[in-house]
Amino acid sequence: MVDAGDFRQDLYYRISAFPLHLPSLRERAEDIPLLVESMLKRFYPDYEITMSDAASKQLQHYPFPGNIRELSNIVQRATLMTNSDVIETHHLPEECLADTGNNNKTCFSDIVSLKELEKRYLIWALNQVENKDELAKKLGISERTLYRKLEQLD
């Protein structure tokens, strides 16, 4: 940005005294269990809340476009969803459950109705493409059918 003239050179040298490279959360998925444990202790110091291994592994496959802040929000939301002291996979938001990252291997945590499965898949698919027209083509259905199915989700 300095070379392009979009950022002041003097300011750059002031803030770049000690540069740190911190990889995104998706690049260090092995840190997620430790981060979750730390967050749970910090957010709820009076409670012994933990995350199951299955839920932890599910989070390790999620790409975290919102990075560490998104993980923090997911942990807080999952804690609110549980009635016990263990966060299970079904307490995680649907976007975390949609893609397991297992190289297209099918992985299900429980049996759900086909309607629920279609709902989860459509939510996941919507997050994968830029627009609904493109999604309809990839799904092999008409745009009208896609919009009808999306209306039924609500």
Comparing C-alpha atoms, which of 41, 38, 49 is closest to residue 80? 49
For the domain 111-154, what is the CATH code? 1.10.10
For the domain 25-105, what is the CATH code? 1.10.8.60
Q: What is the mean pLDDT of residues 79-103?
A: 80
Q: What is the mean pLDDT of residues 86-90?
A: 92
Which residue has better confidence, 19 or 114? Answer: 114
Q: What is the mean pLDDT of residues 102-116?
A: 63
Strand partners, 86: 50
Which residue has better confidence, 79 or 150? Answer: 79
Domain ranges of the chain: 25-105, 111-154
* Residue-level pLDDT at 118: 85
| Angstrom distance (rounded) from CA 35 to CA 49 | 14
Q: At a CB cut-off of 8 Å and minimum separation 6, what does 143 contact?
A: 132, 133, 136
DSSP string, 19-64: ------GGG-GGGHHHHHHHHHHHH-TTS--EE-HHHHHHHHTS--
Say yes or no to pLDDT of 110 above 50: yes
* Residue-level pLDDT at 109: 60
